[in-house]
């Protein structure tokens, strides 16, 4: 059996970020073989993952990024168990690494993202390493990819929410600022759709039925209920569709009007909103 020196333990610790005792045990178990010791620590992470499969991982970080030319945007949500780990610099840096990998490779889904390789390790393997270091369950739970002419990102409230806004015009200082204002609106007001035409039909049907029942319960004649329900549906559109919402920074304008006043023909084509644990 080889002798494990303090320098060897420190070297493995620098390589992996694992604790001193974990590194000493890994080297002892593998007779000082560094590659095998790294695998040993990774297996430790796998064991932790399995032991904690029933644990809730609702804390974490949401990262929203766009490419330099603004034509691609991604949001990822990386979860852990505790707020303490979520605020750790290494954890946030790890979440940003995953987001940058998604931004550079454009995977189709989470499965493809975690199977992709960075610096010789798949994201899945790197997750196991992080679990080995922290002792917490971790997972990439959400991933959004948007491609277009001009994508504006926004990260809200200490990495607890991320938004992407797709604008139609080529990037400019003015429309990027308007895009950020729009993203902040989305973060605060949580619209369910871009405009009336994108509201799901089942939601419209439900709102009309509720509006009718409310009108009848208020003593309105049945023949008027349909018209009253339609009026309430229009109010619903103003509250829950992005382009019809009042702009939170200037209630005299809708989001659509704010964008049109910013730049001729400027509109939002799509948006994505990811809230931590939602």
pLDDT tens digits, one per residue of 19-59: 888 889 999 999 999 989 988 888 888 777 777 777 888 99
In a domain, 212, yes or no: no
Domain boundary among 77, 112, 147: 147
Q: Kindly report the CATH number assigned to the domain that includes residue 128.
A: 3.30.479.20
274: β partners: 162
Q: Give the structural domain span for 33.
A: 6-51
Residue 251 vs residues 185, 247, 248: alpha-carbon distances, Å: 12, 5, 6
The per-residue pLDDT for 116 is: 97
Average pLDDT of the chain is 93
Q: E-strand spans in 127-267?
A: 139-147, 150-156, 161-167, 246-247, 250-254
Task: Tell me the residue length of the chain.
Answer: 278
- 46 and 80: one domain? no
- Which H/E stretch holds residue 180? helix 173-189
36 CB-contact burial (10 Å; exposed 0-12 / middle 13-18 / buried 19+):
middle
In a domain, 207, yes or no: no
| 3-state DSSP assignment of residue 240 | helix
Please report the DSSP string for 5-37 in residue order: -HHHHHHHHHHH---HHHHHHHHHHTTT-HHHH
Confidence tier at 217 by pLDDT (50, 70, 90): confident
In a domain, 128, yes or no: yes
In a domain, 164, yes or no: no
Q: How far apart are CA 109 and CA 103, in angstroms?
A: 12
- 103 and 40: one domain? no
How many CB atoms are closer than 10 A to CB 79? 22
pLDDT tens digits, one per residue of 48-85: 777 777 788 899 999 999 999 999 999 999 999 999 99
In a domain, 100, yes or no: yes
Q: Tell which residue, 122, 182, 171, has the closest CA to residue 148.
A: 171
- 19 and 92: one domain? no
pLDDT tens digits, one per residue of 180-215: 999 999 999 999 999 999 999 999 999 999 888 888
The per-residue pLDDT for 1 is: 54
Q: Which one has a higher pLDDT value, 13 or 177?
A: 177
- 46 and 62: one domain? no
In a domain, 238, yes or no: no
CA 103 to chain centre: 13
- 18 and 35: one domain? yes
Asked if residue 10 has pLDDT above 80, the reply is yes
Q: Give the total number of structural domains in the chain.
A: 2
CA 278 to chain centre: 10
Residue with tokens 């003015």: 174
Q: How far apart are CA 255 and CA 274, in angstroms?
A: 20
């Amino acid at each position: 059996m080889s002798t494990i020196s303090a320098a060897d333990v420190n070297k493995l610790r620098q390589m992996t970020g694992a604790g001193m005792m974990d590194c000493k045990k890994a080297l002892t178990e593998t007779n000082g073989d560094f590659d095998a010791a790294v695998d040993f620590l990774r297996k430790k992470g796998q064991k932790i993952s399995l032991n904690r499969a029933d644990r809730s991982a609702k804390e974490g970080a949401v990262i929203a990024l766009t490419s330099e030319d603004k034509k691609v945007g991604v949001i990822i949500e990386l979860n852990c168990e505790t707020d303490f780990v979520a605020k750790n610099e290494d954890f946030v840096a790890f979440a940003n690494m995953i987001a940058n990998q998604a931004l550079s490779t454009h995977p189709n889904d989470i499965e493809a993202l975690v199977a992709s390789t960075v610096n010789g390790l798949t994201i899945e393997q790197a997750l196991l390493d992080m679990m080995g270091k922290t002792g917490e369950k971790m997972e990439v739970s959400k991933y959004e990819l948007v491609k277009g002419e001009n994508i504006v990102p926004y990260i809200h409230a200490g990495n607890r929410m991320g938004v992407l806004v797709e604008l139609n015009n080529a990037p400019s200082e003015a429309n990027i600022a308007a895009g950020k204002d729009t993203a902040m609106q989305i973060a605060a007001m949580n619209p369910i759709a871009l405009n009336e035409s994108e509201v799901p039909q089942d939601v419209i049907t439900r709102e009309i039925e509720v509006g009718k029942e409310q009108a009848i319960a208020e003593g309105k004649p049945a023949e008027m209920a349909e018209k009253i329900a339609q009026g309430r549906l229009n109010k619903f559109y103003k509250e829950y569709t992005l382009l019809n919402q009042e702009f939170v920074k200037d209630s005299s304008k809708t989001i659509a009007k704010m964008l049109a006043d910013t730049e001729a023909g400027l509109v939002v084509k799509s948006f994505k909103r990811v809230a931590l644990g939602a």
